[in-house]
Chain A
Amino acid sequence: MTQFDAIDSIPGWNPRDDGLGLLNLVSIDTPDGLARFGVGYDGRFIDANGSTWWGLTILRVSGMGSALQGVAPEGEMGLAFFQDPDQPDLVAQVLSHGADYVDGRPIRFYAQPLRSVEEIYAPTIEPILIHTRKMRTVTGRVSGAQDRTLSLTFEAWSEKRRAGRRQKFDQAGHEFFLGEPNPSLEWRPTDNREDEKLFG
Protein backbone atom coordinates (compact mmCIF):
# COMPACT_ATOMS: atom_id res chain seq x y z
CA MET A 1 0.00 0.00 0.00
CA THR A 2 1.47 3.34 -0.97
CA GLN A 3 1.10 6.56 0.94
CA PHE A 4 -1.46 7.69 -1.61
CA ASP A 5 -3.62 4.67 -0.89
CA ALA A 6 -3.30 5.56 2.79
CA ILE A 7 -4.58 9.05 2.05
CA ASP A 8 -7.53 7.58 0.15
CA SER A 9 -8.51 5.13 2.86
CA ILE A 10 -9.28 7.52 5.74
CA PRO A 11 -12.91 7.26 6.77
CA GLY A 12 -14.64 10.62 6.64
CA TRP A 13 -11.85 12.41 4.86
CA ASN A 14 -11.45 12.64 1.12
CA PRO A 15 -8.71 14.61 -0.59
CA ARG A 16 -11.21 15.48 -3.32
CA ASP A 17 -13.79 16.95 -0.92
CA ASP A 18 -14.88 20.50 -1.61
CA GLY A 19 -13.94 21.45 1.94
CA LEU A 20 -10.54 20.14 2.84
CA GLY A 21 -8.47 20.37 6.01
CA LEU A 22 -4.80 19.53 5.86
CA LEU A 23 -1.62 20.46 7.71
CA ASN A 24 1.86 20.02 6.27
CA LEU A 25 4.35 18.59 8.72
CA VAL A 26 8.05 17.80 8.48
CA SER A 27 10.31 15.92 10.86
CA ILE A 28 14.10 16.04 10.82
CA ASP A 29 15.98 13.06 12.22
CA THR A 30 19.09 14.33 13.99
CA PRO A 31 21.47 12.63 16.44
CA ASP A 32 19.71 14.65 19.16
CA GLY A 33 16.33 13.20 18.30
CA LEU A 34 13.46 14.08 16.03
CA ALA A 35 12.73 17.75 15.42
CA ARG A 36 9.13 18.30 14.36
CA PHE A 37 7.79 21.35 12.55
CA GLY A 38 4.70 22.58 10.78
CA VAL A 39 5.40 24.17 7.44
CA GLY A 40 4.13 27.65 6.72
CA TYR A 41 1.70 28.34 9.58
CA ASP A 42 2.04 29.16 13.24
CA GLY A 43 0.62 27.42 16.26
CA ARG A 44 1.41 24.32 18.24
CA PHE A 45 0.05 21.12 16.77
CA ILE A 46 -0.21 18.07 19.03
CA ASP A 47 -0.74 14.96 16.96
CA ALA A 48 -2.70 11.83 17.79
CA ASN A 49 0.40 10.24 19.34
CA GLY A 50 1.00 13.22 21.63
CA SER A 51 4.02 14.59 19.77
CA THR A 52 4.27 18.35 19.48
CA TRP A 53 4.92 20.00 16.12
CA TRP A 54 5.85 23.68 16.20
CA GLY A 55 4.46 25.71 13.35
CA LEU A 56 6.94 27.94 11.58
CA THR A 57 5.71 30.60 9.19
CA ILE A 58 9.27 31.30 8.05
CA LEU A 59 9.90 27.71 6.98
CA ARG A 60 9.77 27.08 3.24
CA VAL A 61 10.07 23.79 1.42
CA SER A 62 10.84 23.68 -2.28
CA GLY A 63 8.52 21.84 -4.62
CA MET A 64 9.22 18.14 -4.80
CA GLY A 65 8.76 15.94 -7.82
CA SER A 66 8.29 12.22 -7.84
CA ALA A 67 11.19 9.98 -8.75
CA LEU A 68 9.86 9.17 -12.20
CA GLN A 69 11.53 8.82 -15.60
CA GLY A 70 15.03 8.48 -14.22
CA VAL A 71 14.80 11.77 -12.34
CA ALA A 72 16.17 11.99 -8.81
CA PRO A 73 14.41 15.08 -7.50
CA GLU A 74 16.34 16.96 -4.88
CA GLY A 75 14.85 19.60 -2.64
CA GLU A 76 15.65 22.27 -0.16
CA MET A 77 14.14 23.49 3.06
CA GLY A 78 14.88 27.10 3.88
CA LEU A 79 14.62 29.21 7.00
CA ALA A 80 15.02 32.95 6.40
CA PHE A 81 15.13 35.13 9.48
CA PHE A 82 16.61 38.18 11.14
CA GLN A 83 19.33 37.50 13.65
CA ASP A 84 18.62 38.98 17.06
CA PRO A 85 21.82 40.86 17.94
CA ASP A 86 21.41 40.04 21.63
CA GLN A 87 21.35 36.29 21.01
CA PRO A 88 24.07 33.86 19.94
CA ASP A 89 24.46 33.58 16.19
CA LEU A 90 21.97 30.90 15.14
CA VAL A 91 23.69 30.15 11.84
CA ALA A 92 26.99 29.55 13.62
CA GLN A 93 25.26 27.39 16.23
CA VAL A 94 23.65 25.21 13.59
CA LEU A 95 26.80 24.93 11.49
CA SER A 96 28.93 24.09 14.54
CA HIS A 97 27.32 20.64 14.54
CA GLY A 98 29.36 19.85 11.46
CA ALA A 99 28.54 18.22 8.17
CA ASP A 100 27.84 14.78 9.58
CA TYR A 101 25.03 16.03 11.79
CA VAL A 102 22.40 15.59 9.09
CA ASP A 103 24.26 13.86 6.24
CA GLY A 104 22.52 10.66 5.20
CA ARG A 105 19.80 10.98 7.82
CA PRO A 106 16.15 10.94 6.85
CA ILE A 107 13.85 13.94 6.58
CA ARG A 108 10.21 12.96 6.51
CA PHE A 109 7.25 14.88 5.15
CA TYR A 110 3.81 14.20 6.52
CA ALA A 111 0.28 15.30 5.79
CA GLN A 112 -2.16 15.61 8.66
CA PRO A 113 -5.75 15.21 7.47
CA LEU A 114 -8.33 17.22 9.40
CA ARG A 115 -11.95 16.19 9.36
CA SER A 116 -13.15 19.18 11.38
CA VAL A 117 -11.90 22.34 13.03
CA GLU A 118 -11.88 20.45 16.34
CA GLU A 119 -9.30 18.05 14.94
CA ILE A 120 -6.80 20.88 14.58
CA TYR A 121 -6.61 20.77 18.37
CA ALA A 122 -7.52 17.18 19.07
CA PRO A 123 -6.59 15.07 16.03
CA THR A 124 -7.71 11.45 15.82
CA ILE A 125 -5.84 10.49 12.64
CA GLU A 126 -2.12 9.91 12.73
CA PRO A 127 -0.01 11.99 10.34
CA ILE A 128 0.47 10.24 7.00
CA LEU A 129 4.01 9.82 5.71
CA ILE A 130 4.20 11.26 2.20
CA HIS A 131 7.89 11.48 1.39
CA THR A 132 11.13 10.36 2.98
CA ARG A 133 14.27 12.03 1.73
CA LYS A 134 17.91 11.86 2.66
CA MET A 135 19.43 15.03 4.07
CA ARG A 136 22.77 16.06 2.66
CA THR A 137 23.99 19.50 3.73
CA VAL A 138 23.13 22.50 5.83
CA THR A 139 24.30 25.83 4.49
CA GLY A 140 24.06 29.26 6.03
CA ARG A 141 23.89 32.53 4.15
CA VAL A 142 24.63 35.90 5.65
CA SER A 143 23.61 39.07 3.89
CA GLY A 144 23.75 42.47 5.48
CA ALA A 145 23.82 43.02 9.20
CA GLN A 146 20.99 40.77 10.38
CA ASP A 147 19.55 38.97 7.36
CA ARG A 148 20.23 35.24 7.65
CA THR A 149 19.20 32.15 5.73
CA LEU A 150 19.67 28.52 6.67
CA SER A 151 19.09 25.90 3.99
CA LEU A 152 18.86 22.18 4.34
CA THR A 153 19.24 20.24 1.10
CA PHE A 154 17.99 16.73 0.67
CA GLU A 155 18.13 14.08 -2.02
CA ALA A 156 15.63 11.54 -3.20
CA TRP A 157 16.22 7.83 -2.59
CA SER A 158 17.02 7.60 -6.28
CA GLU A 159 19.96 9.98 -6.12
CA LYS A 160 22.47 7.41 -7.44
CA ARG A 161 20.47 6.69 -10.55
CA ARG A 162 22.70 8.66 -12.84
CA ALA A 163 25.66 6.58 -11.66
CA GLY A 164 23.86 3.31 -12.32
CA ARG A 165 25.68 0.40 -14.02
CA ARG A 166 24.70 -0.21 -17.57
CA GLN A 167 25.96 -2.23 -20.53
CA LYS A 168 27.25 -0.45 -23.54
CA PHE A 169 26.81 -1.71 -27.08
CA ASP A 170 30.51 -2.41 -27.63
CA GLN A 171 33.01 -5.24 -27.25
CA ALA A 172 33.35 -4.78 -23.48
CA GLY A 173 29.61 -4.90 -23.01
CA HIS A 174 29.33 -7.92 -25.28
CA GLU A 175 32.05 -9.72 -23.36
CA PHE A 176 30.31 -8.98 -20.07
CA PHE A 177 27.08 -10.31 -21.50
CA LEU A 178 28.54 -13.53 -22.96
CA GLY A 179 31.17 -14.22 -20.33
CA GLU A 180 33.87 -14.61 -23.00
CA PRO A 181 35.58 -12.29 -25.47
CA ASN A 182 33.86 -11.95 -28.85
CA PRO A 183 35.05 -9.76 -31.72
CA SER A 184 31.64 -9.39 -33.40
CA LEU A 185 31.11 -5.79 -32.45
CA GLU A 186 34.56 -4.54 -33.36
CA TRP A 187 33.35 -2.86 -36.58
CA ARG A 188 29.89 -1.97 -35.41
CA PRO A 189 28.49 1.24 -36.85
CA THR A 190 28.76 4.09 -34.40
CA ASP A 191 27.01 6.80 -36.39
CA ASN A 192 24.38 7.13 -39.07
CA ARG A 193 26.66 8.21 -41.91
CA GLU A 194 26.66 5.76 -44.75
CA ASP A 195 29.28 7.17 -47.09
CA GLU A 196 30.54 3.66 -47.53
CA LYS A 197 28.03 0.85 -47.47
CA LEU A 198 28.73 -1.65 -44.72
CA PHE A 199 26.94 -4.56 -46.31
CA GLY A 200 26.22 -5.47 -49.94
Chain B
Amino acid sequence: MARDIITIPPDLCRVTAFDWDIDWRTQPGGETTAGNSQIYQQGFPRWFGNLPLVLTPSLILRWRAVRAHARGRLGLYKVTMPDWLIGVPGEGQPWYDGQPWGNDEFWESNPLWLFAANAPRGSSTIRVTVPEGMPAPQQGRIVSHNDWPTIITSVAEISAQWELTIARPLIEAAVSGDPLSLRPTGIFEAISDGTGNPAYDLDRVARPVMEFREYLNR
Protein backbone atom coordinates (compact mmCIF):
# COMPACT_ATOMS: atom_id res chain seq x y z
CA MET B 1 0.00 0.00 0.00
CA ALA B 2 1.35 3.38 -0.93
CA ARG B 3 2.41 5.49 2.03
CA ASP B 4 1.89 9.08 1.01
CA ILE B 5 4.08 11.73 2.56
CA ILE B 6 1.94 14.54 3.90
CA THR B 7 3.68 17.80 4.63
CA ILE B 8 2.28 19.43 7.72
CA PRO B 9 2.16 23.14 6.84
CA PRO B 10 4.72 24.99 8.96
CA ASP B 11 2.11 27.32 10.39
CA LEU B 12 0.27 24.29 11.75
CA CYS B 13 3.48 23.15 13.43
CA ARG B 14 3.33 26.12 15.82
CA VAL B 15 3.42 23.97 18.88
CA THR B 16 3.24 24.89 22.54
CA ALA B 17 6.03 22.66 23.78
CA PHE B 18 9.17 21.00 22.52
CA ASP B 19 10.23 17.47 23.35
CA TRP B 20 11.99 16.11 20.28
CA ASP B 21 14.63 13.59 21.17
CA ILE B 22 16.68 10.79 19.66
CA ASP B 23 15.98 7.29 20.88
CA TRP B 24 19.38 5.59 20.65
CA ARG B 25 17.85 2.12 20.85
CA THR B 26 20.09 0.83 23.58
CA GLN B 27 19.08 -1.90 25.96
CA PRO B 28 20.51 -2.55 29.40
CA GLY B 29 22.17 -5.90 29.53
CA GLY B 30 21.42 -6.17 33.23
CA GLU B 31 23.65 -5.65 36.20
CA THR B 32 25.78 -8.43 37.52
CA THR B 33 26.22 -9.20 41.20
CA ALA B 34 29.64 -7.58 40.93
CA GLY B 35 27.96 -4.30 39.97
CA ASN B 36 29.01 -4.33 36.36
CA SER B 37 26.44 -3.33 33.80
CA GLN B 38 26.38 -3.64 30.05
CA ILE B 39 24.77 -1.45 27.41
CA TYR B 40 23.69 -3.16 24.26
CA GLN B 41 22.82 -1.19 21.16
CA GLN B 42 20.66 -2.92 18.64
CA GLY B 43 18.91 -1.00 15.93
CA PHE B 44 19.05 2.36 14.26
CA PRO B 45 18.67 5.55 16.31
CA ARG B 46 15.43 7.34 15.61
CA TRP B 47 13.62 10.48 16.64
CA PHE B 48 10.59 10.65 18.84
CA GLY B 49 8.48 13.70 19.52
CA ASN B 50 5.10 15.14 20.24
CA LEU B 51 3.31 18.07 18.65
CA PRO B 52 1.13 19.66 21.32
CA LEU B 53 -1.09 22.04 19.40
CA VAL B 54 -3.56 24.76 20.26
CA LEU B 55 -5.97 25.10 17.37
CA THR B 56 -8.58 27.77 16.85
CA PRO B 57 -11.68 26.94 14.76
CA SER B 58 -10.22 27.65 11.33
CA LEU B 59 -7.03 25.79 12.19
CA ILE B 60 -9.04 22.85 13.51
CA LEU B 61 -10.52 22.39 10.06
CA ARG B 62 -7.12 22.51 8.40
CA TRP B 63 -5.59 20.14 10.95
CA ARG B 64 -8.52 17.78 10.54
CA ALA B 65 -7.91 17.75 6.80
CA VAL B 66 -4.17 17.11 7.16
CA ARG B 67 -4.71 14.35 9.67
CA ALA B 68 -7.50 12.74 7.65
CA HIS B 69 -5.33 12.87 4.54
CA ALA B 70 -2.74 10.74 6.27
CA ARG B 71 -5.33 8.07 7.17
CA GLY B 72 -4.04 7.24 10.60
CA ARG B 73 -0.77 5.43 10.87
CA LEU B 74 -0.66 4.70 7.19
CA GLY B 75 0.43 8.11 5.97
CA LEU B 76 3.83 9.57 6.66
CA TYR B 77 4.14 13.10 7.94
CA LYS B 78 6.83 15.54 6.98
CA VAL B 79 7.13 17.59 10.12
CA THR B 80 9.07 20.77 10.79
CA MET B 81 10.73 20.73 14.19
CA PRO B 82 10.81 24.37 15.27
CA ASP B 83 13.10 25.33 18.15
CA TRP B 84 12.36 28.70 19.71
CA LEU B 85 15.64 28.80 21.57
CA ILE B 86 17.52 29.49 18.35
CA GLY B 87 15.86 31.76 15.87
CA VAL B 88 16.28 31.36 12.16
CA PRO B 89 16.42 34.20 9.62
CA GLY B 90 13.08 35.24 8.24
CA GLU B 91 11.12 34.05 11.22
CA GLY B 92 7.98 36.12 11.65
CA GLN B 93 8.36 37.66 8.21
CA PRO B 94 5.61 37.34 5.61
CA TRP B 95 5.65 34.03 3.82
CA TYR B 96 7.88 32.46 6.42
CA ASP B 97 5.25 29.90 7.27
CA GLY B 98 4.04 28.86 3.88
CA GLN B 99 1.34 31.44 3.19
CA PRO B 100 0.25 31.60 -0.44
CA TRP B 101 1.36 34.32 -2.80
CA GLY B 102 -1.08 36.21 -5.00
CA ASN B 103 -0.96 33.41 -7.54
CA ASP B 104 -1.85 30.89 -4.80
CA GLU B 105 1.66 29.49 -4.84
CA PHE B 106 2.84 28.54 -1.38
CA TRP B 107 6.20 29.70 -0.25
CA GLU B 108 8.21 29.14 2.85
CA SER B 109 11.59 30.28 3.97
CA ASN B 110 14.30 27.64 4.08
CA PRO B 111 17.43 28.92 5.81
CA LEU B 112 20.44 26.71 5.24
CA TRP B 113 24.14 26.14 5.43
CA LEU B 114 26.03 24.50 2.62
CA PHE B 115 28.26 21.46 2.77
CA ALA B 116 31.83 22.54 2.03
CA ALA B 117 33.07 19.04 1.26
CA ASN B 118 31.70 15.68 0.27
CA ALA B 119 30.60 13.60 3.22
CA PRO B 120 29.81 9.88 2.85
CA ARG B 121 27.05 8.02 4.61
CA GLY B 122 27.96 7.56 8.24
CA SER B 123 30.01 10.75 8.63
CA SER B 124 29.73 12.38 12.00
CA THR B 125 32.15 15.20 11.23
CA ILE B 126 31.12 17.54 8.45
CA ARG B 127 32.33 20.83 7.00
CA VAL B 128 29.92 23.59 6.13
CA THR B 129 30.05 27.15 4.89
CA VAL B 130 27.65 29.76 6.21
CA PRO B 131 26.03 31.85 3.46
CA GLU B 132 25.58 35.59 3.98
CA GLY B 133 22.81 36.41 6.42
CA MET B 134 22.67 32.98 7.98
CA PRO B 135 23.50 32.45 11.66
CA ALA B 136 26.79 30.94 12.76
CA PRO B 137 26.70 27.29 13.84
CA GLN B 138 25.92 26.66 17.45
CA GLN B 139 26.03 23.62 19.68
CA GLY B 140 22.74 21.89 20.33
CA ARG B 141 21.01 23.10 17.21
CA ILE B 142 18.89 20.59 15.32
CA VAL B 143 19.55 20.55 11.60
CA SER B 144 18.44 18.20 8.87
CA HIS B 145 19.88 16.83 5.67
CA ASN B 146 17.41 15.30 3.18
CA ASP B 147 14.77 15.14 5.93
CA TRP B 148 17.07 13.25 8.31
CA PRO B 149 17.36 15.45 11.41
CA THR B 150 20.35 15.39 13.72
CA ILE B 151 21.87 17.45 16.53
CA ILE B 152 25.08 19.47 16.35
CA THR B 153 27.40 18.46 19.15
CA SER B 154 30.40 20.70 18.53
CA VAL B 155 31.44 23.54 16.25
CA ALA B 156 34.83 24.92 15.27
CA GLU B 157 35.60 27.68 12.78
CA ILE B 158 38.45 26.74 10.50
CA SER B 159 39.48 29.26 7.81
CA ALA B 160 36.04 30.57 6.79
CA GLN B 161 34.54 27.11 7.09
CA TRP B 162 32.94 25.43 10.03
CA GLU B 163 33.70 21.94 11.18
CA LEU B 164 30.70 20.42 12.91
CA THR B 165 30.24 17.14 14.67
CA ILE B 166 26.76 15.71 14.63
CA ALA B 167 25.22 13.21 17.01
CA ARG B 168 23.45 11.03 14.52
CA PRO B 169 25.72 10.49 11.53
CA LEU B 170 24.67 11.36 8.01
CA ILE B 171 22.31 8.75 6.63
CA GLU B 172 22.59 9.85 3.04
CA ALA B 173 25.85 10.87 1.48
CA ALA B 174 26.17 14.62 0.88
CA VAL B 175 28.15 16.27 -1.87
CA SER B 176 29.82 19.61 -1.60
CA GLY B 177 27.20 22.34 -2.00
CA ASP B 178 24.29 20.31 -0.59
CA PRO B 179 22.06 22.26 1.79
CA LEU B 180 21.89 21.53 5.50
CA SER B 181 18.53 22.88 6.58
CA LEU B 182 18.26 25.08 9.65
CA ARG B 183 14.53 24.47 9.84
CA PRO B 184 14.87 20.77 10.48
CA THR B 185 12.34 18.45 8.92
CA GLY B 186 11.90 14.74 9.29
CA ILE B 187 9.63 12.00 7.99
CA PHE B 188 7.53 10.59 10.79
CA GLU B 189 4.73 8.17 11.32
CA ALA B 190 1.99 8.46 13.92
CA ILE B 191 2.35 6.20 16.94
CA SER B 192 -1.35 5.32 16.93
CA ASP B 193 -4.33 5.86 14.68
CA GLY B 194 -6.11 8.04 17.20
CA THR B 195 -3.27 10.37 18.12
CA GLY B 196 -3.71 14.08 17.39
CA ASN B 197 -7.48 14.02 17.20
CA PRO B 198 -8.61 17.69 17.23
CA ALA B 199 -11.51 17.19 19.59
CA TYR B 200 -13.02 20.42 20.88
CA ASP B 201 -15.42 21.47 23.57
CA LEU B 202 -17.77 24.41 24.08
CA ASP B 203 -14.87 26.87 23.75
CA ARG B 204 -14.16 25.54 20.25
CA VAL B 205 -10.46 25.32 20.82
CA ALA B 206 -8.78 21.95 20.27
CA ARG B 207 -5.66 20.96 22.16
CA PRO B 208 -4.54 17.74 20.51
CA VAL B 209 -1.15 16.14 21.04
CA MET B 210 0.22 14.33 18.03
CA GLU B 211 2.78 11.64 18.82
CA PHE B 212 5.38 10.84 16.21
CA ARG B 213 8.22 8.46 15.68
CA GLU B 214 10.64 8.61 12.82
CA TYR B 215 10.17 6.43 9.78
CA LEU B 216 13.46 4.69 8.98
CA ASN B 217 12.67 2.27 6.16
CA ARG B 218 13.49 4.58 3.30
| Cα-based distance from A40 to B41 in the complex (angstroms) | 13
- A84 touches which one: B1, B43, B169 (CB < 8 A)? B1
- Report the interface size for chain B: residues with CB under 8 A from the other chain: 27
Q: Which residue numbers of A lie inside 8 Å of B, CB to CB?
A: 17-24, 40-46, 54-55, 84, 86-87, 114, 117-122
Q: Which residues of chain A come closer than 8 Å to B45, judged between CB atoms?
A: 117, 120
Interface of A is mostly: mixed
- A20 touches which one: B39, B170, B216 (CB < 8 A)? B39
- Please report the number of residue pairs spanning A and B whose Cβ atoms sit closer than 8 angstroms: 77
- With A44-B216, A44-B217 known as contacts, the answer to whether A118 contacts B44 (CB < 8 A) is no
Q: Which residue numbers of B lie inside 8 Å of A, CB to CB?
A: 1, 24-25, 29, 36-46, 120-124, 168-171, 216-218
- A18 touches which one: B38, B217, B218 (CB < 8 A)? B38
- With A43-B217, A55-B217, A87-B1 known as contacts, the answer to whether A122 contacts B43 (CB < 8 A) is no
| Cα-based distance from A41 to B40 in the complex (angstroms) | 14
Query: How far, in Å, is A170 (CB) from chain B's closest CB?
Result: 53
Chain A residue with Cβ nearest B37: A18
Chain A residue with Cβ nearest B27: A20
Inter-subunit contact B122/A119 (CB<8 Å): yes
Query: How far, in Å, is B118 (CB) from chain A's closest CB?
Result: 13
10 tightest A-B CB contacts, nearest first = A122-B122, A41-B43, A43-B44, A121-B122, A43-B216, A21-B41, A19-B39, A84-B1, A118-B122, A42-B216
- A54 touches which one: B25, B42, B46, B217 (CB < 8 A)? B217
| Additional pairs, 4, CB under 8 Å, beyond known A18-B39, A43-B216, A54-B217 | A18-B38, A20-B38, A55-B44, A87-B1
| Cα-based distance from A44 to B148 in the complex (angstroms) | 14
